[in-house]
Amino acid sequence: MTDSRELVPVEPGPPPVLLGTVPIRSPQEMVTRGSEIARALADVINDRKLYTVIQGKKFVQVEGWVTLLGMLGVTPVEISVVEKERETGEEYEARVELFRTSDGARIGGASATCGRDERSWKDRPRYAVRSMAITRATSKAARLAFSWIIKLAGYEGTPAEEMQGLDPRGYADEAPPVDPSIAKIAYEIKQTINRASKELRRVSPDHRAIEHDIFKRCGVSSLQHETNLDTLKRVAADMDRAITRERERMQAEEAHEAAEGPQG
């Protein structure tokens, strides 16, 4: 016996929207999934203190933004860094783009700059200025795509790296008042660190990475406004140790080459 009923084709629904790599089929589901991610993200940011308090508000640091990208299955990729010469010194413009890890699709991106015309970066090493341009471009790209999730997590939608050194109107703040005697000692230690930085560049081809690790280990983001004497002393001591190690390495390499003699 044959069933004579006609089969009515079912029209496929619209393809899901992807929240990173998470498929979303309705605005309600977008909010629900975004809220779930925001709650998990807030736990990480609070536990690891991945935020900076400015004017009583919490601004998420780049590590928090990158954590969000990881939760969504998105990775930031440095596309380019262009050095530009200005009257005030070097300026770097970085471009970072966001790619979905599941299929490699580009889903966003942003450019940002950092230069010596900024008070906090006037006397910093070139690698640090360049690195901050990349950091700003990374957090900006994440902000343009996913700041609404950061807001759901209870934080401000602007990355901390874009806010540090600014007052609510967007103008650079003056450094907080410091005891003159402390400021004088801090200045002398900073000069010692600057001289050590030049010597490290002379004796090591890896000076940028070494200096970056020292600053990171000591929790220093900028020497310009840093006045904690213990912190500055740790930086200076670590720089001296690094210079000693690199000198010994260089001497060992020269001795080894001399012992081997000319090749031919």
Q: Are residues 183 and 129 in the same domain?
A: no
Q: How far apart are CA 190 and CA 52, in angstroms?
A: 24
Which of 174, 195, 230 terminates a domain? The answer is 174
The whole domain housing 152 covers 15-174
Q: Are 34 and 149 in contact (CB under 8 A)?
A: yes
pLDDT per residue as tens, the chain (264 positions): 555 566 555 555 566 667 777 788 888 888 999 999 999 999 999 988 898 887 778 899 999 999 999 999 999 999 999 998 877 778 999 999 999 998 899 999 999 999 888 887 888 888 888 999 999 999 999 999 999 999 999 999 999 888 754 433 333 333 444 566 777 888 888 889 989 989 999 988 888 889 888 888 887 766 766 667 888 889 999 999 999 999 998 888 888 888 876 655
Q: Are residues 36 and 120 in the same domain?
A: yes
Q: Are 139 and 159 in contact (CB under 8 A)?
A: yes
Which of 139, 174, 209 terminates a domain? The answer is 174
Report the pLDDT value the prediction gives residue 25, as an integer from 0 to 100. 82
121 alpha-carbon distance from chain centroid = 15
Residue where the block lists tokens 């699709």? 105
Pair of tokens at residue 227: 């006045």
**For the whole model, what pTM was predicted?**
0.58
Report the pLDDT value the prediction gives residue 134, as an integer from 0 to 100. 93
Residue where the block lists tokens 């970072």? 96
Report the pLDDT value the prediction gives residue 169, as an integer from 0 to 100. 36
Quick check: is 10 in a domain? no
Phi, psi of 139 (to 5 degrees): -70, -30
Number of domains the chain contains: 2
Give 165-170 contacts, CB < 8 A, sequence gap 24+: 165/118, 165/119, 165/120, 166/54, 167/55, 168/55
Q: Are residues 183 and 198 in the same domain?
A: yes
Q: How far apart are CA 176 and CA 59, in angstroms?
A: 20
Q: Nearest to residue 238, comparing CAs of 185, 202, 184, 192?
A: 192
Q: Nearest to residue 109, comparing CAs of 64, 156, 147, 141?
A: 141
Which of 174, 205, 227 terminates a domain? The answer is 174
With vertex at residue 70, the alpha carbon angle to CA 91 and CA 30, rounded to the nearest 5 degrees, is 110
